[in-house]
Structure 1
């Protein structure tokens, strides 16, 4: 039987990351008048710190929001990855203790 409660933190984090990316996409779509795909591309390249520079914020309000988004989203994404890695590690450790 699958214990669904052990997956709750991972589900919550994945939902949070999706909301963070979709929220950023919708904000940049509205402020910069970009298509959904262009705004999603900008959002993902910003969160992953790739930042190719082919899409840039041009409006002062968008620049300010982009700065805040960068300062918040990058650490939150890294924390999310850490929590998922920790969950996987503890699950593997628990399973290896069962086999001993």
Structure 2
């Protein structure tokens, strides 16, 4: 869990990677290439990530979800089809001969 920015302004890069669900190699590569999704603070060799920026990023992802959850969608009618998220669309398998 990301600490409250009022009590802890920054977290380590490794803590930020864990919150984002990425490994160290990917995280440090993104920082080096300038593609890490939040600004970082460098002090010598130390890298810190502002907790407020990381919270904004993760909260924005939660708020931007437009697909309903299964319980929201199905209500009492289990025959209703639920639209798939674009990242989760299933590709039909070709018929086997």
**TM-score higher than 0.5 here?**
no
Shorter-chain TM-score: what band? Answer: under 0.3
Q: Which has the higher helix share?
A: 1
Q: Look at both structures and tell me which one has the larger radius of gyration over its CA atoms.
A: 2
Q: Which has the higher strand share?
A: 2
TM-score norm. by structure 2 comes to 0.28
